[in-house]
Structure 1
Amino acid sequence: MDNVIELENVSKTYRIYQRGWDQLKEIMTGRTYAHLTYALHPLNLNIHHGQVVGLVGKNGAGKSTLLKLVARTLTPDLGGHCRVHGRVAALLELGGGFHPEMTGRENVYLSGAVMGLTLQQIDELYDEIVAFAGIADDMERPVKTYSSGMFVRLAFAVATCIEPDILIVDEALSVGDGAFARKSFDRIMHFRESAKTILFCSHSLYQMEKICDTVLWLDHGQVKAQGDPNHVLTEYAEFLNHDSNSRTSLLSPAKINTSSDSDIESTEETLSIPTELKGTARLTQIVAHSGAQSGTALQLHSGESELTVTIEFIYDPTLATPTVGVAVMRRDGLLIASATTHNDDVLIPHHNTGKGKINLLFPRLLLLKGNYQLDVYLGCEKALHAYDQALSAIQLEVVQHGVEQGIVAMPHRWQLTAQDHLLSL
């Protein structure tokens, strides 16, 4: 396969001066007064046409620096060579090149020119950009008067309405809120299905594993691991588990009703979908049940208690029915187990009411003593884009009779050999 991105001994170092006049003293005396900070150590990397490459690493690992080098908004240190073949669309700092005093229309033409488009090409794309952003009535206003949502919509539309050969995404596979988040995610997935090369970083290991062909793990500017997503992400997850402050998720926490006072039932009447719900979905209620207990905080007995989690949601009925996922977390953030309707091939029936409900059952709780919580996710029909989430939706305190140690009680049995049985006689 042809390489579209070739990095040869690419690195990035910053010279930091403690005092403003240290740089002048350095010039005058020839002595070094700078402290060198290595944002990215020498790196060699080849990315093939149509390959989807993910970047993982904690904040400050060098992910954004690498993406900016490929996007050519940064230049590598001397001796490094960064070759990029094809048109690049970079979703790094959306709207970073917008001039606040200029109108939306003027900024479209300014950004298009910066991307290397001709005036004629921008003219041909202008209507598509405005239609995708959905702010036609505001294009003659200065962007400084835009809301943050309008700003993001226009910036994303400008960056992606060109047909790039290489798409670079920093941190988020979808931007904006509600329906636009789904629309932006669909556009990025369209690039993937069109065999465009994609290079992105994300804190969602789930999305990484489902989307990427290969993953690069950076730590303090150096490559810790590179290769098969399953192998690299397993190592990275184990690394994160040693850091109690690390937590990966799909999107920002959602505020939902977790009380058990209401029971939403589907009817045959078509639901009037609120404007903010069009093109998206949200969780409405999450309740746990075990015996006589019901609510969002339960005490359970290891190996004895049954647990049922009832999850209700509402969605735009013009969309495919969403998928539901549940993650069992230890209180310190360690992921214990997970389950999704998509992975288990469970199809939630589609209703023209736009309401959905499903129960997740644990027939016999295998968790050992400790405090746990359930995170609930509402995703698209492919379980890639997250419409909504509720972190720590259910709190569980597990007690036990025995002294078994660990996290889960694994089903097992002891067996004596025939020889051992004879010796005991």
Structure 2
Amino acid sequence: MSFDAINSEPAIKAVNLSKCYQLYQHPKDRLKQFLWPHRWLGPRLFFRELRALHDIDLTVMPGEVVGIVGQNGSGKSTLLQLVCGTLTPTSGEVRVNGRIAALLELGAGFNPEFSGRENILMSSAIMGLSQAEIAARIDDIIDFSGVRDFIDQPVKTYSSGMYVRLAFSVAINVDPDILVIDEALSVGDGAFARKSFARIMQMRDAGKTILFCSHSLFQVESLCSRTIWINHGRMMMDGESAGVVTAYQAFLDKNSNATNTVPDTITNTNQTVTPESHEHPSGTARLLKVKLQENNANVQHAIIMSGESSVRVSVAFASDPLLPCPNVAMTLQTPDGRTITSAATWEDQFILQRTAEGKGEVSLKLDKIPLLKGDYLINIYLMCERGLHIYDTAVAAATLQIKQSGRLQGYFSIPHRWENTLDG
């Protein structure tokens, strides 16, 4: 069979895929259900059913990068586990064409009594690598994980960070055809998280098939050309990422359960960070200070008039000088988490400058802010050169209270003009 013929086959094909769990109130009810003589006394159920997925049809072609969004309990993880074969469907079927690596519950298959090296050998074999392939890659796996000094110690002695880094390294180095990611882009410390993200981006650029499940709508839209929205086990939308993310965010807003477009990890940096602690952050970058200025004075909370006042946000950072210069982004949010607007250096093609030691400072001026009355939060994000990986965050770094003279409703006062059009 030719390469083109192989590539014409779907990487993942799910048809009428459903998963139903039987939930028992007491352990003894399982035995009752097993022993109940159905044929003579008729059916009786000692359990209640929970249908996690309802008749999902899904086709993913080789090289596609597909995002999956949905609230907790919507069935996203169940779908990924069915694709990976760690769960069996109640009905329907799923076919996978190619070697698959899953970043689900990292390290779930590790034996705590085995050493790191022994767990690498075992996990790689389970993922389908031959002994020759394992031998050729084991040093790369160990080096990527950064735990070489402890590789022959039992993993039960590892810290949680070491454990996760080793598991991620195994999964990412088996050269899969299909990569399944479930909220696994923030493993380990900042330097390792960036390295992990870079490897995933490398796999995407190499044409690997990727399923990416995340609550970070910003990363989903940035990474994935196509996105699927699942709600209560049913597929609500399947299409171009921008449209699906917009519809899903509107759904969250309508249900007053808004999800931030960036991860929830919060580092409030209103105060200056001790210079010695982050002067030369190796392999990553850190926010040092975020300042809000009104009329050339530093403030934490600004009270301004709609359409009349301006403020300036100054952001200082430190970065590893060996890495590309980072980017800075700002969002304005309502207290309930709705993002009203945003600005980013990469979108404006603004190039940050920094010293040879990796330090920099940039300011963003917001002129005659057209927001209508209300309270708003200023969030700052320090991101990688692509504007995808988040190094550091300052959520609610400062607040704005907008006042207005009129009675207009909404979030913005947009430019407008009234005209009389009555003839004669």
Which residue matches 2:41? none
- In structure 2, how many angstroms separate the alpha carbons of the residues matched to 1:111 and 1:279? 28
Change (3 A) 1:151 1:274: farther
| Partner of residue 406 from structure 1, selected from 405, 410, 420 | 410
Deviation string, structure 1 residues 230-289 (Cα, Å, up to 9, x no partner): 111110010111233432243343434314x89x9xxxxxx99767x2110011111111
5 Å-filtered alignment, 1:25-424, equals: 25-26=32-33, 27-30=35-38, 31-78=44-91, 80-259=92-271, 277-291=281-295, 293-417=297-421, 419=423
Which residue matches 1:267? none
Which shows bigger deviation, 49-58 or 173-182? 173-182
Pairwise CA RMSD of aligned residues?
1.9
The amino acid across from 1:322 in the alignment is P
Deviation string, structure 1 residues 190-227 (Cα, Å, up to 9, x no partner): 11000000001111111111211211000010011111
Which shows bigger deviation, 147-156 or 112-121? 112-121
Q: CA deviation at 1:412?
A: 1.4
Whether the 8 Å contact between 2:268 and 2:396 is mirrored in structure 1 is no
* Secondary structure class of the residue paired with 2:252: helix
Deviation string, structure 1 residues 294-329 (Cα, Å, up to 9, x no partner): 222111111111111111111001111101110110
* Secondary structure class of the residue paired with 1:105: helix
Which residue matches 2:3? none
Q: CA deviation at 1:122?
A: 1.2
Whether the 8 Å contact between 1:328 and 1:374 is mirrored in structure 2 is yes
The amino acid across from 1:381 in the alignment is E
Which residue matches 1:14? 21
- In structure 2, how many angstroms separate the alpha carbons of the residues matched to 1:330 and 1:272? 32
Which shows bigger deviation, 14-23 or 324-333? 14-23
Q: CA deviation at 1:355?
A: 0.7
The TM-score normalised by the length of structure 1 is 0.93
The amino acid across from 1:20 in the alignment is P
Whether the 8 Å contact between 1:251 and 1:389 is mirrored in structure 2 is no
Any gaps of 5 or more consecutive residues in structure 2?
1-7, 39-43
Q: CA deviation at 1:330?
A: 1.0
The amino acid across from 1:71 in the alignment is C
Q: CA deviation at 1:344?
A: 0.9
- In structure 2, how many angstroms separate the alpha carbons of the residues matched to 1:284 and 1:272? 10
Q: CA deviation at 1:173?
A: 2.8
- In structure 1, how many angstroms separate the alpha carbons of the residues matched to 2:111 and 2:63? 33
Which shows bigger deviation, 345-354 or 84-93? 345-354
Deviation string, structure 1 residues 136-174 (Cα, Å, up to 9, x no partner): 110111101101111111101111111100000001334
* Secondary structure class of the residue paired with 1:396: strand
Whether the 8 Å contact between 2:292 and 2:398 is mirrored in structure 1 is yes
Deviation string, structure 1 residues 337-392 (Cα, Å, up to 9, x no partner): 01100011111124312111111111101111111101111100110111111111
Whether the 8 Å contact between 1:171 and 1:203 is mirrored in structure 2 is yes
Any gaps of 5 or more consecutive residues in structure 1?
265-270
Which shows bigger deviation, 189-198 or 108-117? 108-117
Whether the 8 Å contact between 1:53 and 1:199 is mirrored in structure 2 is yes
Aligned residues: 411
The amino acid across from 2:416 in the alignment is H
Which residue matches 1:268? none
Change (3 A) 1:196 1:375: same
- In structure 2, how many angstroms separate the alpha carbons of the residues matched to 1:360 and 1:251? 23
The TM-score normalised by the length of structure 2 is 0.93
* Secondary structure class of the residue paired with 2:36: helix
Whether the 8 Å contact between 2:9 and 2:97 is mirrored in structure 1 is no
- Percent identity of paired positions between Structure 1 and Structure 2: 45
Change (3 A) 1:272 1:295: closer
The amino acid across from 1:362 in the alignment is L
